[in-house]
Copies of this chain bind each other. A is one copy, B any other.
Amino acid sequence: MLTYALLGFLRYAPMTGYDLKQIMDLSTSNFWHAKQSQIYTTLKKLEAKGQVQSEIEPQQGRPDRRVYSITPVGEQALTDWLDAPLEEIEPRKETLLLKLFFAAPTGKDALLGQLGVQRELHQRMLDTYRHETRQVIDQFASQMPEHQADAILWDATRRFGEMFEEMYLAWLAETMAVIEAKLDE
């Protein structure tokens, strides 16, 4: 799956594994992320499959840059993937919910404390979506005026993050109130 993220970015412009990590952290990290090491190994596999190709750009005082670009084979693979509709809901994993499910023997106050920690984290995340993420998208969009349609979709992914965090905070508030009211001890 990371393969498609890499192909997607390389369709905008050729770049290195290092660049790909930077740009993912800035843009897709809220719904897709990867470690540097995985990016390097995945690029290697993509090159073996002929979906990308690389050229060495010599540098002094630094390791040479290995610049990857997408091939026609890679473009086809990306398009095929984009065209195939997702026919299923992906199963999620939410560690907090798993803990909560089994948390009855935990004390009421300890439980409220744990949910309070999450409330802080999600509040901060919401602010990030509303300000920083928005700014990053505006900046990309103004740098590439030919990609106006893209910017609309980028903002749709940002809105998902914003709405998700709003929902999360509402759920936390509701859950903390229920625990306060109905749990003994």
Residues on A lying within 8 angstroms of B by beta carbon are 1, 4-5, 8, 11, 27-33, 78-79, 81-83, 85-106, 110, 113-114, 117-118, 121-122, 125, 147, 149-150, 152-154, 156-157, 159-160, 163-164, 166-167, 170-171, 174-175, 178-179, 182-184
Contact = CB atoms under 8 A, between A and B. Distances in A.
Contact of A92 (B1, B88, B92, B105): B92
**A-B pairs, 7 with minimum CB distance:** A8-B102, A31-B97, A31-B94, A167-B167, A104-B150, A85-B114, A104-B149
B86 A90 contact: no
A156 B100 contact: yes
A101 to B, nearest CB: 5
